[in-house]
Amino acid sequence: MEGRRKVLVIDDEPDLVEMIRMALERVFEVITAFNGKEGVAKARSDRPDAIVLDIMMPEKDGFAACRELKEDPATASIPVLILTGVAEHFGRTKYHRMGGMEIEAEDFIPKPVDPNELLRRVAALLKKE
């Protein structure tokens, strides 16, 4: 499996993480983390090629985690795809917002997650790179 791109999935819901892992494993190498703190640590240590990040999490939520990743020059270049809840909105154009808070991320995908769509989006992010 040499040469396979590495994707870090950060979510507190093990079943969802499992589902996403299965969806992405068809193409990428998947590593997981179950809260923001652990996710940021793994991003720094394992240097993934892309990150799938949930927002609502214990121990550092997606906002904080994303901000930290983007502020750290070591991880700033890693594209982040955010999973958004039903009550949240991330525009498809330049308009990105959540509950009135700006967030800087490369892409957004609404829950419930369509595994094929997710795979397509992650692939698109990596190709762009």
Partner 1 sequence: MWEKIKFWGKWPFRTLQSKLVFSFLLIVLAGGTASIIIGIRMVGNTIIAEAHKKVQHDLATARIIYQEKLNRIQDVLSLTAKRDFIIRAVMGSQVKSLRRELERVRIDYGLDVLTVVDRKGVVLTRTRSPYCSQDFKGNDELVRKALGKETVSSTEIIPQDELVQEGLDLARQAYMEFIPTPKAKGRREDKETAGMMMKAAVPILDINNEVWGVIYGGIFLNRNYEIVDKIKDAVFRGERYKGKDTGTATIFQWDLRISTNVKDQNGLRAIGTRVAREVYDQVLENGRAFIDRAFVVNEWYIAAYEPVRNLKGEIIGILYVGTLEAPYTDLRKNVIYSFLGVAFFGLVLVLLLAYFITRSITRPIDNLMKATEGIAGGNFSHEVPVESRDEVGHLAASFNRMVRTLRATMEELYVVNTKLQDLNRHYLEMVGFITHELNQPMGVLKGFLIMLQDESLGPLTTSKQRQAVGTMLRNVNALINMIQKYLHLGRIESGRMEVNKAWIPLFEECLAPVLEDERQQLEARRMQVILENEEAFRRVEDEADPVLLRIVFNNLIGNAVKYGKEGGKVWVGFREEPAELLFYVKNEGRGIPPDKLGVVFDKFARLEGELERRRRGTGLGLFNAKQIVEKHGGRIWAESEEGKWANFLFTLPKGVKGS
Interface residues with partner 1 (CB under 8 A) are: 13, 15-16, 18-20, 22-23, 26, 86-89, 91-93, 95, 97, 100, 110-116
CA dist 36 and 24 (Å) reads: 20
- Supply the minimum distance, in Å, between the C-beta of residue 47 and partner 1: 27
- Supply the minimum distance, in Å, between the C-beta of residue 91 and partner 1: 6
Contact between 82 and 92 under an 8 Å Cβ cutoff? The reply is no
- Supply the minimum distance, in Å, between the C-beta of residue 75 and partner 1: 27
Q: Which residues contact 41 (CB under 8 A, 6 or more apart)?
A: 33
CA dist 111 and 128 (Å) reads: 23
CA 16, 21, 23, 28 torsion-angle sign: positive
